Structures are given as structure tokens and as C-alpha cells.
Amino acid sequence: MVKSREWSRKTREEVITLHRKGNGYKKIAKMLNLPRETIGSIIRKFKAKGNGYKKIAKMLNIPRETIGSIIRKFKAKGTVETLPGRGRKKMLTSTAVRYLKRRVEKSPRVTAEELRKDLSDVGTEVSAQTIRRTLRNEGLHARSPRRTPLLSPKNKKSRLQYAKSHVDKPQKFWDSVLWTDETKLELIGPMDQRYVWRRKNKAYEEKNTLPAVKHGGGSIMLWGCFASAGTGKLQRVQGTMNSLQYQEILDDNVMQSVTNLRLGRRWTFQQDNDPKHTSKSTRAWLQIKGWNILEWPSQSPDLNPIENLWWDLKKAVAVRKPKNVTELEAFAHDEWAKIPVDRCKTLVSSYASRLKAVITVKGCCTKIECHLGVE
């Protein structure tokens, strides 16, 4: 219990003033050296019938005004804990927030400044920074858009039709497909790290810069193939590839890869719709070969699992930091051969999920494609 001489240091008027200034019981109790147990005792005695403010004050030797403020708060709020304040009034009403959300979801490229002007036209004056903060609180963040192929309505329709007609194919069919494609490897390319940790005004220190070399510092074009059983042949394309060179590459590598990967007789050849692949001479050449060709929708790198292997290859080669084109090619062959069979098998076994993703988005670009980017 608090002794009466302790209360003599604080006059009754001071206690009332502290309460009127918004001080909760914890703060007043601390200032007056009032233990929490005493607060509990006040509430218990108040709940007991026949105990008024004056009687409780006399029993506990505490000023009646303090007893009254504690009990009145308990009666009004159901607690004597310090409740959070209302805080500053929000600049934007819930209606304005809903408008901002609808606007950016409909037009993701709209800027915060444009949104500020829209609100200003209807009498709501806020800063662009307030709008950005509000949208972030709603889970909407400004981010760089992902690069994806430009899909025409015809492309979307073709992609959707392909996905629907192949989604029910058995896994055995996909395991017998030889996936092929070309890619470009650069000495200094997009796989290099683009972010550095640095201090202010240190942007141009050599360790914080990325050297820019004209024409990328050298690059090579590669043709490769793989199947569920592992990676197949990888060959460098000399110069600019035309239909004739493409046919020569296929002649040198495809059947050898089919044999090495044990795809059997009923295997399927996959290629995209690059003009060199679909030219009149290439179609005639493929017809003579008698290979079973997988129909392919245009603008569909997300449907070719070899794109994932190109991504793996570029990361692995970049880590080895080739100094010239010769090393670049040698490292590429080394890393291609190191790609685990399990990685290839997983990519092919999950192919049905790619088709389902295309169906879900009605032929539009999928998340897989956005992740890989567009070469």
C-alpha cells in the first residue's frame, strides 16, 4: 500500500491534471509509484457491492480523484489498460483507396503523378509519395515489367489450341521427344550481376562498375538438344545460320543424339518456327528424313523446356568467367555435359503443367516465360 507521506509530494490538483492530459493509469501509477497490484485491488473492491469512491480511497489511502478516474475508465472501456490513440487522420478516404486500386489494376503503367492529378481533379490533394505509400500498404508495388514475346490474337489462339490438344498426351510420349533450340552466349552478357553494394558517391569506383564492351565483347551461337534421358549434342553455329547450315547441323547431330539417348524408333523431333526451320528447303529435307515433327505454336519459348537448360548453362559458364570466345565455347561444352539427367527428367515430366498454365491464361504468356525472359 502507498503510504500517506508519499502522496504528500503530489497535490490533488496535480493528480487531476495528469489524468486530464491523457495520462493512462500505468503512467500515473509509475509517476506516483503506484504498483499494478493496487490497480487490481481498486477494481476488485469496486466490483464488491457497497464500495464507493470515497470508501475505496480511504481503504487504500489513495486520493479519491485517482480512484474515480480508474473506475470510470473501467466502466467505459471494460479495461484499465492504456488504449492506443486514434492517431493522425488518414489523408485518403477508403473510397479514394478503392479508386487507386481499381485504377492501377486496370492500367498498371499509370504513374503516381497521374494518380495524384486524378485525385486533385475531384478535390483530394495529396502528394505522389502518399499515393505510393498507400498502394504499397495495399500490396501493390512498382516493379520493372518482365520482358515477354509480343503475342497477337492469332498467336494466343494457336498456343491455346496446342496446349489443349496435347495436355492429355501420356508421359511416355514426352519422354521420347528430342527438344532442340539455338541460343547466344556472350562473354559479357545478361547473366552478369547488375547490382552492387556501395556507398554514396562511390558509383564510379572500379569495383562498383560493370565494364561495357562494344558488341558484347564477343559471343557465340549454339545449337543444342536434350531429352528426358539427358543432354544431347551441342554444336557451335559458325557465322549467320541459314537453312542449309541448319540442315547440316541436324544431319550431324540429331540421329547421334537419338541413339545416345536411346529414344527408340517412335521418337519425335521438336523445333520452333524460326524461318530457317520452316523454310521450303528445310521442310522438304525433313520430309525426306521421315522424322515425326511436333507441331509448334509461334512465340512460345515457355513451352520448350530447353530454355531452362539454356538458363542453367549461361549461369554455369558465367561463374567460370571465360576470357575469350575460345574459352567461352569450351566452358559451354563442359557445363552442358555436366547437366544432371535428373534435371532433364524433371523438366520433361512436368511438361503437362506448362500446358495447363497456358490453358489457364488462355494462351497468354506464362510465369515460366516471364522468369526466363526473351532472348
pLDDT 10s digits, 255-270: 999 999 999 999 999 9
Mean pLDDT of 130-142: 89
pLDDT digits (tens, 9 = 90+) for 311-344: 999 999 999 999 999 999 999 999 999 999 999 9
Is the confidence at residue 164, as pLDDT, over 80? Answer: yes
**What's the CATH number of domain 153-372, 3.30.420.10, 2.60.120.200, 3.40.630.10, 3.40.190.80?**
3.30.420.10
pLDDT of residue 373: 45
Reading the block at residue 370, the C-alpha cell is 516471364
State how far the Cα of 193 lies from the Cα of 321, in Å rounded to an integer. 12
Mean of the per-residue pLDDT values for the chain?
82
Is the confidence at residue 187, as pLDDT, over 90? Answer: no
Mean pLDDT of 42-51: 71
Q: Which residue has the cell 470510470?
A: 72
pLDDT of residue 212: 54
More confident call, 66 vs 194: 66
SS3 sequence of 86-133 = CCCCCCCCHHHHHHHHHHHHHCCCCCHHHHHHHHHHCCCCCCHHHHHH
182: β partners:
223
Identify the helix (H) or strand (E) that includes residue 277.
Answer: helix 275-278
State how far the Cα of 339 lies from the Cα of 322, in Å rounded to an integer. 19
- Are the C-beta atoms of residues 256 and 164 closer than 8 Å to each other? no
- Are the C-beta atoms of residues 240 and 216 closer than 8 Å to each other? no
pLDDT of residue 68: 77
Q: Which residue has the cell 498502394?
A: 135
pLDDT digits (tens, 9 = 90+) for 350-359: 999 999 999 9
Is the confidence at residue 175, as pLDDT, over 90? Answer: yes
Is the confidence at residue 375, as pLDDT, over 50? Answer: no
Question: What Å distances lie between residue 52 and 28, 48, 72, CA to CA?
Answer: 21, 10, 12
Strands 230-237 and 268-269: unpaired
pLDDT digits (tens, 9 = 90+) for 84-118: 666 677 788 889 999 999 998 888 888 999 999 99
- Are the C-beta atoms of residues 126 and 325 closer than 8 Å to each other? no
Is the confidence at residue 367, as pLDDT, over 80? Answer: no
